[in-house]
């Protein structure tokens, strides 16, 4: 059975917004391996509207010389949005109904994992609906103080269990969480 796996860059204080402004000083060979592994273990890229628009505005212009560009540009992409009417990036399909319902059905089909990049609103929704199978956080050793966070105050209450951890030489901590089994 397929899993839905989210992999995100976050600061110590939970900020995800604008990683292009704080992420790259911490990007090393090990992080590149972890990110590439996530994409190669998946056969579908799942995105929310905002992340889709950012990716569609930049990835199609990247060539084979950019790591993962060919993989990201050619793999099937699902876009969960209640506001978009069309998606135009190569191999993109809009989820028009309930993302949780659609993805629950898709998880039952043969294939590799479904990976989510960015898309905090979508991730919160899938956690709420018990559809997300794994949450990988690449926690960067920086406190940003402001910016959009993965979890907003007062929104979600879910128990997770730590399924793995690794500290990179740059100080980034790779944490893997899975939903806690109800007791």
| Residues 87-106 pLDDT 10s | 999 999 999 888 999 999 99
- Does position 155 have pLDDT exceeding 80, yes or no? no
12 close to 143: Cβ distance less than 8 angstroms: yes
Q: What is the pLDDT of residues 124-153, one digit of tens each?
A: 999 999 999 999 999 999 999 999 998 877
Stated as kind and residue range, the H or E segment containing 140 is strand 134-140
What pLDDT is recorded for position 158?
Answer: 87
What pLDDT is stored for residue 183 in this prediction? 38
What pLDDT shows up at residue 182? 58
Which residue, 3, 5, 16, 11, is CA-closest to 121? 16
Question: How many angstroms separate the CA atoms of 120 and 6, rounded?
Answer: 9
Which residues make beta-bridge pairs with 62? none
Q: Indicate the burial class of 69 (C-beta count within 10 angstroms; 0-12, 13-18, 19 or more).
A: middle
Beta-bridge partners for 8: 137
Cα-Cα end-to-end distance for the chain = 23
pLDDT band at 107 (very low <50, low <70, confident <90, very high): very high
Higher pLDDT, 175 or 181: 175
Mean pLDDT across 19-34:
94
């Amino acid at each position: 059975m397929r899993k839905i796996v989210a992999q995100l860059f976050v600061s110590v204080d939970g900020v995800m917004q604008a990683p292009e402004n704080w992420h790259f000083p911490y990007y090393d060979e090990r992080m590149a391996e972890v990110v590439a592994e996530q994409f190669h273990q998946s056969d579908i890229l799942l995105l929310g509207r905002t992340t889709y628009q950012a990716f569609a505005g930049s990835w199609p212009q990247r060539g084979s010389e950019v790591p993962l560009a060919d993989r990201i540009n050619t793999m099937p992409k699902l876009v969960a949005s209640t506001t978009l009417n069309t998606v135009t990036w190569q191999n993109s399909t809009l989820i028009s109904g309930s993302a949780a319902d659609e993805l629950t059905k898709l998880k039952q089909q043969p294939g590799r994992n479904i990976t989510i990049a960015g898309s905090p609103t979508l991730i919160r929704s899938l956690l709420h609906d018990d559809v997300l199978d794994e949450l990988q956080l690449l926690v960067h050793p920086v406190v940003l103080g402001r910016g959009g966070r993965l979890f907003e105050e007062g929104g979600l209450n879910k128990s997770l269990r730590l399924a793995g951890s690794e500290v990179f030489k740059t100080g980034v901590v790779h944490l893997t969480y899975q939903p806690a089994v109800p007791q």
